[in-house]
A = this chain, B = another copy of it.
Amino acid sequence: MTVHIPVLEKITKANDQIAGINRAQLDRHRILGLNLLASPGAGKTTLIERTLPLLGRELRVGVIEGDLATNLDAERVIAVGAPCVQVHTGSCHLDASMVRDALERLPLPELDVLLVENVGNLICPATFALGTHFNVLLASVPEGHDKPYKYPSMYRAVDLLLVNKMDLLPFVPFDMQLFRKGVEALNENLETLPLSCLSGAGIESWVDWVRSRAQKQFAAL
């Protein structure tokens, strides 16, 4: 019982072509591109706020903020001192052309890592490649352990899973074993890092992951 919109297939093909151009541009500038995906309020912007000071000791980071309407997230990122472009999507996901336009407004020769914060949504962002190298999904404990079962396309599409708000685990009915089982069924051996953006626990492991991916990325080029 689905509505088939014929225009969608054409859009995603055109999108993939532009994503390829974005990827080539990131590679040319030796920039590791990460696409951050999550539900609304899972903690993407707070993660970026936490990450920038730690990564910034050795890597230069730029940010693209995708939001339906406001500049609130970009203001938070700029306050931490990173070059940031806000994209108002007007719709439920970023696409490759929006990222292409944003890349033109970033100082690419001065960057090592690009963090793209996608729109808070577990459905459409999984369909639109942006040209980034890895998809990083930020789940959060109060959302519940059933999310991999309910949003399989998203959990299949990602290369790293962060589980945020671990500090709330004692207060909510979240069964980590059921969650892991759902994840494994969709995306075997998906690397998973538990953390808390509030307490800071686990952030260092995520920063290590970015650091090592950036090193491998640069070595491969």
Interface residues on A, range: 35 or more
Majority secondary structure, A binding face: loop
Given the known interface contacts A7-B7, A143-B40, A143-B41, the answer about A88 and B2 at a Cβ–Cβ threshold of 8 Å is yes
Q: Which B residue's beta carbon lies closest to that of A122?
A: B40
A39 at the interface (CB under 8 A from B): yes
In-complex Cβ contact of A3 among B1, B3, B95, B144 (8 A): B95
A residues adjacent to B (C-beta < 8 A):
1-3, 5, 7, 11, 39-41, 67-70, 72-73, 87-92, 95, 97-98, 101, 119-124, 140, 142-144, 146-147, 149-153, 165, 167-168, 171-173, 198
CB of A183 to closest CB in B, whole Å: 15
* Chain B residue with Cβ nearest A4: B90
> Is the CB–CB distance between A91 and B3 below 8 Å?
yes
Give the nearest-CB partner of A121 in chain B. Answer: B121
Q: Complex formed: what's the CA distance from A37 to B34 in Å?
A: 30
B101 to A40, Cβ gap below 8 A? Answer: no
Determine if B69 and A152 form an interchain contact, defined as CB atoms under 8 angstroms apart: yes
CB distance from A146 to the nearest CB of B (A): 6
**Shortest distance in angstroms between A82's beta carbon and chain B's nearest beta carbon?**
19
Q: Are A3 and B98 in contact (CB under 8 A)?
A: yes
Complex: how many Å from CA A48 to CA B25?
49
Shortest 4 CB-CB contacts between residues of A and residues of B: A41-B143, A2-B90, A92-B123, A142-B142
